[in-house]
Structure 1
Amino acid sequence: MAALKHVVGEFYFRVDYDEETGKVEIDEYGLRSIIKGRAYFTAKAAFTWGKRSTKHGDFGWLPNIPAWARSAERIGSDYIKRYAKTKAQALRAAIAERRRYRKGCTLSDAIAECDAEIAALQARLKRTRT
């Protein structure tokens, strides 16, 4: 698979699995900058992105973004592959990552958790495509 070229200013999707509720969450992130081999992403939510002034159409990043809404990922690492241009691509990347993790698991509890997570991700992918 060819490496995804990330572009500053564009938005990407990332998939997370909430173990407590068993739900798949797809969040949108904006790539703010790339500095010294690191890509800096910020979650796009009501508290980070919105109307900046009274001017018509003046939307953008709001000031005082909390640290937990930002992430820095090394370019070329496996973790940055979780950021994809479409929801379906992000789900496929999350499924592939969980399958790689499952191969290294030796405990039956961890394998069962991985299987449940993969099943939830695949179900969400099936709903996303239609």
Structure 2
Amino acid sequence: MSLAVASAPPRWKSAGLWVVRGLLALAFAGAGAAKLYGVPMLVESFQHIGLGQWFRYLTGALEVLGAILILTPSLAAVGAVLLICIMIGATVTHLFVVGGSAVPALVLLALSAVVAYAKRGQIASLASHL
């Protein structure tokens, strides 16, 4: 048996990973666009954070970028790591600054971690080139 055949993931795992990536892309593209558009609730939330509205624009742009990267097969690992970093920040912010539930951020963090784990070979390859 060939090593390439033995290491290929089952078709359902590949399809499932695409579903997770698609859901993450939809969630982050929507959230990022809302931040960039200036939805009043988000403007108020970022005002409460205290870093200024530039941080809302930066966060929105990074979320949209992450959504694009996670759908790009050769850059999905980079997108997943970027989204993990964003969600760690979101979780900490919810827990210690703005209040409210951190559960949505934790769910998105977990789904991003699933993609990063599935694409760990990409991460290792990118890290070896640095």
TM-score range normalised by the length of the shorter chain: under 0.3
TM-score, normalised to structure 2, is 0.27
TM-score, normalised to structure 1, is 0.27
